[in-house]
Each structure stands twice: as C-alpha cells, then as structure tokens.
C-alpha cells in the first residue's frame, strides 16, 4: 500500500497544506514507527463521499474531538457555534485532503522512508521538528541529538506515545512533502514568454485620444422593456457556472423576546450594591466571589496589564489593595472588582517539562504512589544535572501525552494558562531556572527557557453576574409564542394570525442543511435540523434560541443545480433589459458614415476623451467602459468610425483621433517576466484545488448522519 493510500484511509490530525488547503486532517499510519493499523476493525458509516471515496464517520469524529481539545487547551470556549465551525473546517479539510492525495496517487507521487529520514536529520528539516533540538544559546540544530531521540522513540513500547508521534510529527511531514512534490509538477511548468511581456508593455505604453457619442440605457424607461422568464432562463443556461445553487430552504418566522427587561437589570444592580460592603470586608476575596457564583472565575494569580481587557481597566489600575470598584456594566453583565495586589512580571514564558503523573486526568484515579513519583522526579533532576539529554528523558519517562511529541517543549504561554503552582514557578522565577513543582497532576521537572515583555501585572477578584430575564419575563414570552403557534398550524393560519395580531413577520432564505445559525435568529443547529426534517408548509412549535422564542413556517426549498428564472431574475433582468434597450438605441443612432453624423442623428454634441491608456479602468465622463477603452486602440477606427459598441452603461460609437506610443524607458522585461512567473506560482495552489473541486463529485451526507 502506498503512503498516499495510507494517509487517505487512516488520517487523524491537522496540518497546514502548502497550497492553501486550510487545515488538512488525517489519521495514524505506522509507516515509520510501530506497525499496522489499530483503529478500525470493520465497516463504518460515512459522513460523505468524494469521487466515490467514503469519508469515515470515525475519522471525522476523532478529528473534531482533537481540534476541540486544541482550542480548549488554548483557553477558547467551545460552544455550539464554535463546534459547528470546527465540524465545517474538518469537513472541508478532509475533502481537500482526498482531492490532493487522489491526484498525487494518479501521478505516482510518494514519499519514502529514506526520503523521510534524509529530510528529518538534515538542515532542511521542518522547523517544528528542528526547534526541539536547537540550542537556544547558539541557534544550532543538533542533528545527532535528534537522531538519538528518534531511535529511542522507535524502541518504545508505549503504543499511545507512538500514536502521538505519528499524529503530530510523522504524518504531517509526509503529507506536506507529498503536496510539495505535487505542486512542483504544476509550478515547474509555469512559463511566461518574453514576447507576451513585450506585447503587454507596448499596449500599456499606448495613449489614445477619441471622439465618441454615447446613448445611455437610462434614456429608455424600464417600463417600455419587458423581460420574460424564457429570456432569463436562456441567459442562465448560457452562463450556468455563474448561477449554481446549493440545496437550501427558506422560512418565515416571528420572534418573541425573552431577554432581560430594564426592571431585571435594575434589580441586579441593586443586589450588587447591597453586596459591595461585604465584598470589601471579606478576608479572602477569592473565596468570597467563588461562593457568590461569579461569572468570571477567580484567577489566583497576576495578569499582565495588556491582557486585562475590560472597559473600566484604567479605573481598576488606580485602586489600592483592598479597594472595590463598581458596580459597572460589562457587556450583558454587572460586575464589581477588588484589587488584591500588583507586581512586575513577564507577559509570556517559554518552558519545557517532564511530568511524572500521580493522577489519570481522564478518570481522576491515582496512578502511582506520591512517594514513588517524588523519587522518580528527583532521579530525573539528578540525571539532567549529570549531563543526561532532556529529550531522551522526556521520551522515556514523561506522562504528559500533549507535550511528549515536542519532547516536553510547551512553547510560549501566557500568564494564567497553566495550573497555579506551575504558573507561579514559570512567571515568578527567571530564565534558566530549573526545579521540581508539584501540581494536582503529579510532579513536574521544569526548565524556564525564556521570558519576555515584562510589565505591571495585577491580581484582581471580579464578582460578575449576568443580567438575566426573570422567571416572569421568560414566562410571558413563552406564553405569547405558544399562543401564536396554537393559532397558526397551517401556512394560511400563520399569515392570518400575523396580520390580525400585527406581528412582525421576518424572512430567512438560503438556509443550507449544514448551517448552524440563521441571520436574525441566532445559533441553533437543532432548529435547522427541524427545518430539514419537516416539509414546506409546516409550522414549528415555539423554539428557544438565545434570549428569544421563535415560531417558524417552512416556506420553500431549492435543490442543487442551476437557479430558476425567479431566483436569477434580480441579477439577470438588468442585463437582459439593457440588451433589449441596446437594440432600440442602435436604431436611434441610425446609419452614419462618420462620428459627426452619429452625433447629429442622436441630437447630441460630440464628446471627447483624451490620454486613454489600455489599462485604464475608469475615465472621467466616460465611466467604467472596458469595451470603449479596448476599441480606442483598434487602428482601423482611426480611418473610420466604429459600429455601435455595447457597453456597461449604454451604446457608443467612437472614432480614434490619435494613437501614440509612449515607451517606458525603465521597463525591465526579464524582471517583469520573473515577477509574472512568481505570481502565477503563488496563485496556482488555490487554482488547482478549485479545479479539483469543480471536477469532483462531492456528496455531503452529514445531515443524514445526525450532525
């Protein structure tokens, strides 16, 4: 089995493609480490197909979980909106991966084990790998250390560790190199001939002066030109690529606001005022806000000045320790803040570590005795002090699966991103410090590699409460929505009730089956699933979306294909109408032997446009008329007047008064040729992917799979 097929069948992580594929996900194949596939033992359902090749649901789900975990580890909140964005990102990445790997397979492109090792242990190694073995003092990549660490990994019996290395190191490099080979085939054939550059320079160097007569389409009233559906369909069929449409549905809906009222806001403000004195006098501000159920969890550490992003931060920085500011509005919340203290700290730290875990983070169960873990981490510290290679010890002993493939390197992280004990050591120590720290996960041996951007940092306790609707507010909105829905069980009833109750009926079009939000309504994947699970004409029960209730009527649907005349009319009607107007304007121009006669026929004065250049997009008085600009450089029109020219704004007749060349003395044809080639190569990746997509048969069945 080729590596191409391996990656296509068993891919599971995310890498950035060199041809702009967004993030491409793919799963483990033990091509270089370990052996054999160990994920799937039988047939699985799919979430779609690309040219008949199924995209497995298990693969899709695993990649979604991985990316969600990555976002959460970086401090992002993965809500419904974020989750749907991730799913769409994974889907697009998997489609792109299948298209690229399939194309590479057709061309016999592969990346061998020998090529992999030659790349990895050379100065051309990927930066994300080299940085793990680069001396921070000298900046030199230690190839021998990398080779030794990799050999140690190959002897490892830790299946999960091998899987992580495959996921985060080997397979991304292999796919990246295959993509580079594929792109080299295409970009290697890019050529821009010298004569083409010279021709372009000659055209751009020409200057034309013309006389012209123009008749605007606006002189013919729209009411005098009827555009039929047949004419629109004829135009659409000739330009199908411009009028493709995806499957979608449309709804009419009524909203019932269940958001907090002014009274709800006032009540919360008064409650916060009542708590201010207790907040000021609390012996432990962190304990106080936690007990009160603050919306902003207490961070028992110092936050850099630049990272504090709240509207009243300048006022907070003026507080003395123990002082409380507020209440104040912070978005849809009301908050108070108490200053605990301040000090100068780095904004971010680069560190690496080795973890001896005493706790399984998934189950919460102890793994080894605390005393055993302490002895082990002490032995690691002694070994490093004696000259042992940090990377080898990470590979052999560290229990942190997340950083193990990077040989313990955590990169730069912000203050507050790590657990308190780990965070305090890194931010309150100094560059070069090494030591053992105990956290809830076990014992860490930490080395601070760098600290940067020192500034004033503050420890602040926030008591924050969201302004929420009262029970009475929510009940009133729910009751109104229920009453409306009960009177609107058919499309006719829906519209009659809207008119009778003088409600605001809104419309949402082009709702696609894998959307997760509706403009004007909000985020609700379940609501969109309902829209596709029911037939047009169905009226929903009240649906809670955000701080409102929605009652919707499914009004219509569109299938994949080309737009109908009704759908395309808004775009096509002006184009077809202008064509029909042009026929009338040509009659008005009549027969003419010269430009003066054309002007006389129309009763207009003769217009002039001077110093026209071939690459002009707009000329004062003439406007955006590329047809006229192009005709200005047609030599025959120096001798005789042009026939009617159909432009963007009207019909024109022109005659060239003069046509001269103004050569550019600074033009360097060879440099221009190189620039043109480079530009083509830079845009080729995206163009190739688009071409592959357009030529492919892509079926997205995620909705049927329950997403």
- Summarize the confidence of residues 90-110 as an average pLDDT: 88
Q: Give backbone dihedrals phi and psi of 433, rounded to 5 degrees, phi first.
A: -65, 140
Number of helical (H) and strand (E) elements in the chain, helices listed first: 24, 23
Structure confidence at residue 26 as a pLDDT band (50, 70, 90) = very low
| Burial class of residue 119 in the structure, from the number of CB atoms within 10 Å of its CB (0-12 exposed, 13-18 middle, 19+ buried) | middle
Position 171 pLDDT exceeds 80: no
Structure confidence at residue 164 as a pLDDT band (50, 70, 90) = low
* 260-468 shares the fold of 248-259+470-559: yes
| Inter-axis angle of helices 3-10 and 80-106, nearest 10 | 160
Q: Give backbone dihedrals phi and psi of 51, rounded to 5 degrees, phi first.
A: 55, 40
Q: What is the pLDDT of residues 309-340, one digit of tens each?
A: 888 999 999 999 999 999 999 988 999 999 99
Position 85 pLDDT exceeds 50: yes
Pair of tokens at residue 113: 């084990």
**Which ranges in 653-697 belong to alpha helices (H)?**
669-695
Q: What is the pLDDT of residues 468-514, one digit of tens each?
A: 999 999 999 999 999 999 999 999 999 999 999 999 999 999 999 99
> What does the pLDDT read at residue 179?
83
Position 28 pLDDT exceeds 50: no
Structure confidence at residue 38 as a pLDDT band (50, 70, 90) = very low
> What does the pLDDT read at residue 161?
67
Pair of tokens at residue 384: 């490093």
The CATH-assigned architecture of domain 260-468 is Roll (3.10)
Structure confidence at residue 42 as a pLDDT band (50, 70, 90) = very low
Least confident among 168-172, 427-431, 461-465: 168-172
DSSP E strands: which ranges in 559-643? 561-562, 607-613
CA count, 13 A, side-chain hemisphere, 697? 5
Structure confidence at residue 8 as a pLDDT band (50, 70, 90) = very low
Position 695 pLDDT exceeds 80: yes
Q: Which residue has the higher pLDDT, 155 or 485?
A: 485
Q: 3-state class of 440 per DSSP?
A: coil
- Summarize the confidence of residues 164-179 as an average pLDDT: 78
Pair of tokens at residue 381: 């510290």
Structure confidence at residue 363 as a pLDDT band (50, 70, 90) = low
Q: 3-state class of 52 per DSSP?
A: coil
The CATH-assigned architecture of domain 248-259+470-559 is Roll (3.10)
Could you write out the DSSP letters of every residue in 279-329?
HHH-S-HHHHHHHTT-SS----S-EEGGG---TTHHHHTTPPTT-EEEEEE
Partner residues linked to 160 by β-bridges: none
Structure confidence at residue 37 as a pLDDT band (50, 70, 90) = very low
Average pLDDT, the chain: 86
- Summarize the confidence of residues 69-78 as an average pLDDT: 76
Which pTM value belongs to this model? 0.65
User: What is the spatial distance between Cα 586 and Cα 593, in angstroms, rounded to a whole number?
Assistant: 14
> What does the pLDDT read at residue 101?
86
> What does the pLDDT read at residue 480?
96
- Domain range list for the chain: 3-187, 206-245+565-661, 248-259+470-559, 260-468
Least confident among 65-69, 279-283, 383-387, 656-660: 65-69
């Amino acid at each position: 089995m080729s590596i191409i097929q391996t990656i296509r069948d068993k891919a599971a992580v995310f890498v950035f493609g060199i041809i702009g594929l967004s993030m491409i996900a793919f799963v483990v194949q033990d091509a270089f480490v370990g052996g054999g596939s160990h994920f799937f033992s039988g047939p699985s359902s799919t979430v779609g197909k690309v040219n008949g090749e199924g995209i497995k649901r298990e693969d899709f789900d695993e990649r979604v979980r991985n990316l969600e975990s990555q976002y959460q580890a970086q401090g992002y909140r993965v809500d419904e909106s974020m989750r749907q964005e991730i799913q769409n990102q994974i889907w697009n990445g998997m489609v792109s991966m299948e298209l690229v790997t399939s194309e590479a397979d057709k061309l016999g492109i592969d990346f061998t084990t020998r090529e992999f090792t030659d790349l990895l242990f050379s100065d051309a190694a990927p930066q994300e790998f080299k940085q793990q073995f680069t001396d921070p003092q000298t900046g030199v990549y230690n190839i021998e250390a990398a080779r030794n660490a990799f050999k140690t990994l190959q002897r490892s019996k830790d299946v999960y560790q091998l899987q992580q290395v495959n996921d985060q190191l080997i397979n991304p490099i292999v796919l990246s190199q295959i993509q580079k080979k594929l792109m080299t085939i295409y970009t290697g054939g890019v050529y821009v001939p010298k004569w083409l550059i010279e021709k372009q320079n000659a055209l751009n160097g020409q200057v034309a002066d013309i006389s012209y007569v123009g008749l605007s389409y606006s002189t013919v009233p729209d009411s005098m030109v009827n555009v039929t559906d047949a004419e629109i369909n004829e135009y659409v069929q000739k330009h199908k690529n411009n009028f493709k449409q995806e499957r979608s549905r449309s709804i009419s809906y009524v909203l019932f606001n269940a958001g907090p009222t002014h009274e709800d806001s006032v009540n919360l403000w008064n409650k916060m005022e009542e708590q201010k004195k207790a907040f000021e006098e609390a012996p432990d501000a962190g304990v106080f806000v936690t007990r009160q159920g603050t919306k902003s969890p207490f961070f028992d550490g110092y936050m850099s000045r630049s990272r504090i992003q709240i509207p009243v931060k300048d006022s907070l920085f003026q507080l003395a320790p123990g002082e409380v500011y507020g209440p104040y509005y912070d978005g849809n919340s009301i908050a108070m803040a108490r200053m605990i203290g301040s000090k100068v700290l780095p904004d971010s730290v680069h560190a690496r570590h080795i973890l001896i875990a005493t706790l399984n983070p998934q189950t919460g169960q102890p793994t080894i005795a605390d005393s055993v873990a302490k002895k082990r981490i002490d032995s690691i510290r002694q070994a490093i002090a004696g000259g042992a290679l940090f990377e080898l010890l990470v590979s052999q002993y560290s229990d942190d699966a997340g950083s193990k493939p990077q040989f313990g390197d955590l990169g730069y992280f912000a203050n507050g991103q790590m657990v308190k004990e780990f965070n305090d050591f890194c931010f309150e120590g100094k560059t070069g410090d090494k030591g053992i720290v105990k956290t809830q996960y076990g014992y860490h041996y930490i080395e601070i590699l760098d600290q940067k951007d020192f500034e004033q940092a503050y420890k602040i306790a926030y008591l924050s409460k969201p302004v929420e609707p009262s029970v009475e507010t929510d009940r009133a909105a729910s009751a109104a929505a229920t009453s409306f829905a009960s009177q609107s069980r058919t499309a006719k009833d829906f519209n009659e009730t809207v008119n009778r109750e003088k409600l605001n009926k809104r419309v949402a079009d082009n709702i696609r089956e894998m959307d997760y939000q509706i403009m004007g309504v909000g985020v609700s994947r379940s609501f969109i699933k309902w829209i596709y699970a029911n037939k047009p004409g169905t009226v929903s029960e009240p649906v809670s979306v955000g701080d409102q209730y929605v009652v919707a009527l499914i009004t219509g649907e569109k299938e994949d294909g080309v737009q109908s005349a009704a759908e395309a009319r808004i775009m096509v009607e002006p184009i077809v109408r202008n064509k029909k107007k042009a026929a009338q304007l040509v009659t008005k121009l009549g027969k003419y032997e010269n430009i003066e006669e054309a002007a006389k026929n129309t009763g207009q004065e003769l217009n002039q446009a001077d110093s026209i250049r071939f690459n002009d997009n707009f000329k004062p008085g003439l406007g955006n008329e590329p047809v006229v600009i192009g005709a200005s450089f047609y030599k025959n029109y120096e001798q005789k007047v042009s026939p009617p020219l159909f432009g963007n704004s009207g019909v024109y007749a022109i005659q060239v008064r003069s046509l001269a060349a103004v050569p550019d003395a600074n033009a360097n044809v060879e440099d221009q040729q190189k620039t043109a080639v480079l530009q083509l190569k830079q845009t080729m990746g995206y163009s190739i992917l688009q071409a592959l997509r357009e030529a492919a048969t892509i079926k997205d069945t995620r909705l049927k799979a329950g997403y």
